[in-house]
Structure 1
Amino acid sequence: MEDSYYRLLAQRYLEGTLTDNELEVFIHLLNEGKMDTYLKEAINAEMGITEENEAELQKTTNIRHMRNSWLKYAAAVIVLLCVFAAILINRLPSQQPIAASRVKHDAQPGGNKAVLVLANGDSIILNNASNGQIARQGSASISKVQNGLLAYKSTGADTANAMNTISTPNGGQYNIKLPDGSMVWLNSASSITFPTAFNGTTREVTITGEAYFEVAKNAAKPFIVNSGTQTVQVLGTHFNINAYQDEPGIRTTLLEGSIRLKTGSQSRVLVPGQQTLVSGNNIVLQKTTNPSVTTAWKDGLFVFDDTDLPQLMRQIARWYDVQIVYRGKPGEFAFVGEIKRDTRLTSVLKMLEASGVRFSIENKQLIIQP
């Protein structure tokens, strides 16, 4: 009897159809750890996760509970498409999960979308282009190798290099192999401008938004990345730059090698694991960070590490191409965990609603009522 009742509660929780009395019972059972198995089963069933899938997750843990005077519990370690998803929250849920009546638009996740602008102003929508060579610029051939990857190959030296720009929309991402063999991953709402051949004494590019670089080594030609007020110079290394205008500053994270970061009169050399925040002409060294958190987006994951609600929602807005609207103050939340980026928006919101934040979706607006 208990099994069937607990399964019913878990299913109604995900559907947003719990009555007030049932929600009170659900919270009580959740706090006691009695809903762990049933909630996980219900989510697995909804997301199409099989027993074979779950068998691969040897290190996955169930819902965890932390108790002290200010943190009642931490809820919702959720198995989602073979990814461990843990959402740690700092208060009891005060609202039911997102219900169908509050969903007038369910945003699909982003994908490989970008536009290439050639030196002559012509535009090519890369997600519509066929694989193979799509253009030539001077001595450089430009080929779409596969969906999500564009490659440049220089066949000679140009006296004047053509400048190209690749930009992604909200809900887009793309991977570029530059003429020198360096690899660049562009996140949503981002761009990179670069020459079709690096013929000078440096290899210089300019970005907006967020980009991850794996720079081909060439000691004779330093690689330079311009983003806003900062310049990063490297010889060959792996690093990530987050330069969105709606973020508090330009965040640069080094994974491998070393880089020299400059802004105004300030300069700093980073070692692997370090991260800087540039605001105006000031460089602030952040705490040593886990680089995999910063670069998870290029591997198809949202990874949250004590992420507050506004920062989390900025990521959601760019990837799902929705506008975030707050009805009240965001509240004090800290999220920790992983969610695959190929998950539809309502499934993500069901997990986040365990925190007590209430969402509704109307057309392209995601309305938040903390």
Structure 2
Amino acid sequence: MNKCELNKMDEMLEQEFYISTLITASLNGSLDPAGDEELQAWKKSSPENLEFYDRLIAQEYFMQEFKNFNEVETDTIWELTSSGLKGSLTTEAPLAAVSPIKLWFRIAGLVAAVTTLALCIYFFSGIRRADHSTIDYAKQYPYIKPGRNGATITLGNGKVIKLSDLQTGVVIGNNRLAYADGSTVNAEAESKLKDEMLTATTAKGQTYIFTLPDGTKVWLNADSKISFAQFFTNKTRKVFLEGEAYFEVAKDKLHPFVVMGKEQQIEVLGTHFNVNSYKDEPGIATTLLEGSVKIKVGDEQKIIRPGEQAINRFGRIDVREADLSSVLDWKNGDFYLNHVEFKTAMRKIARWYDMEVIYDASVPDNMELGGWVSRSYQLSTVLKSVESAVSVTFRVEGRKIFVLRKLND
């Protein structure tokens, strides 16, 4: 190989390494708009580039998931992978597991991931396959990134402060707005802070953590809003919630903490609980993890204990045992789908990816899912995972997800 050929190979490897860094940044949500635009343009420039992108996505998935297994599971994975690679190979990208038997479906997904990783190495060697007839799910759906950190704070005078998407949370203190790392949010805005109502808002596809003036921490889910006083000077620490939030309330026996909603109020002294009050949900769900809370709806009130969930429908409160994994999945970075109604899961997915879901009349209401899938994956991976668990198929056009019943069912 002459010097010219070596230089060309160096340039090719350098470009592939650079593109790999862009893809990794895109997956973990740290890619800036300029980099994202460059990545999208590169993907569209040739079928080979799109193929390379799919292989690297598979590799990243494998590396992230493999770290979560214990020694026994790891040995099982490699044993299955070794036998799988001796048989027929598939180019389909790995699907996040959606199954009641979580471990074995995760292993199956990782076997597919290792297979794809082997093909990625094959691609890096410079050998191009002539047959491109294999179905590629990334080509069936447009590339839509998962949600990320982001929110705004609206001051009493109407000024809106956009919070950094490179930060995870903000601390709201006396005349101070600071990020979790201690850096100032907006010096000009701080000079205008006074004892007034502040409103923290997340759009669809956003989440953020807010530490309130009393030390209470609030995880705000996508498409949600919480309003509160800049200084908790009254006897009652009162906040107003729309959407979904998880609270870790700072204990203060002299100043009860009250969460106000459109149809109910929740009274606590110090506790951990989740409230889901989205308008498109069939009821307001309050789930308790620690302590106790009192829920009031009109003249009716009930106290719930850890592990219980109160559902407020049309002014009536029903208390039942809670599935905490399903309730807190969004806070933990997952879609937990075990025994979750299909349309309930689709509402979660739609909020996180900022999508609208449109159902064909043939799609039934009584389907259930199983297992889990990470909220860090792009939309196409999540939809293919759901497709593998229920008798539906998806079509994505713009910001709309069309749901159809599978023809063979």
TM-score for both structures, normalised by structure 1:
0.71
The structure 2 residue matched to 1:362, chosen from 386, 393, 397, is 397
Question: How many angstroms apart in 1 are the aligned matches of 2:224 and 2:200?
Answer: 8
CA RMSD of aligned residues (A): 3.7
Cα pair distance change 1:45/1:230, threshold 3 Å: same
Question: How many angstroms apart in 2 are the aligned matches of 1:77 and 1:283?
Answer: 37
Question: How many angstroms apart in 1 are the aligned matches of 2:369 and 2:375?
Answer: 16
Q: Which amino acid aligns with 1:324?
A: V
Provide runs of 4+ in structure 1 moved above 4 Å.
Answer: 43-46, 57-63, 73-76, 79-82, 128-136
Q: Which amino acid aligns with 1:127?
A: S
Cα pair distance change 1:344/1:128, threshold 3 Å: closer
1:303 matched residue in structure 2: 336
Higher relative contact order (CA 8 A, sep 6+): 1
Question: How many angstroms apart in 2 are the aligned matches of 1:308 and 1:97?
Answer: 29
The C-alpha deviation readout for 1:219-274, integer Å capped at 9, x for no partner, is 00000001120100000000000000000010000000000000011000000011
The structure 2 residue matched to 1:78, chosen from 106, 116, 120, is 106
Question: How many angstroms apart in 1 are the aligned matches of 2:64 and 2:299?
Answer: 57
Greater fraction helix: 2
Cα pair distance change 1:56/1:364, threshold 3 Å: same
Cα pair distance change 1:310/1:50, threshold 3 Å: closer
- Cα shift at 1:184: 0.3
Unaligned runs of 5+ in 1: 1-42, 64-72, 83-95, 152-157
Greater fraction strand: 1
Question: How many angstroms apart in 2 are the aligned matches of 1:350 and 1:81?
Answer: 12
- Cα shift at 1:322: 0.8
The structure 1 residue matched to 2:222, chosen from 185, 188, 205, is 188
- Cα shift at 1:54: 6.4
Please, which moves more after superposition, 347-356 or 244-253?
347-356
After TM superposition, the structure 1 = structure 2 runs for residues 170-189 of structure 1, keeping only pairs within 5 Å, are 170-189=204-223
- Cα shift at 1:51: 9.1
Question: How many angstroms apart in 1 are the aligned matches of 2:253 and 2:109?
Answer: 43
- Cα shift at 1:111: 0.7
Question: How many angstroms apart in 2 are the aligned matches of 1:260 and 1:315?
Answer: 27
Cα pair distance change 1:246/1:58, threshold 3 Å: farther
1:247 matched residue in structure 2: 281
1:324 matched residue in structure 2: 357
Question: Is the 2:338–2:372 contact (alpha carbons within 8 Å) kept by the matching residues of 1?
Answer: no
After TM superposition, the structure 1 = structure 2 runs for residues 252-271 of structure 1, keeping only pairs within 5 Å, are 252-271=286-305
- Percent identity reads 34
2:63 matched residue in structure 1: 49
Question: How many angstroms apart in 1 are the aligned matches of 2:109 and 2:257?
Answer: 38
Cα pair distance change 1:329/1:340, threshold 3 Å: same
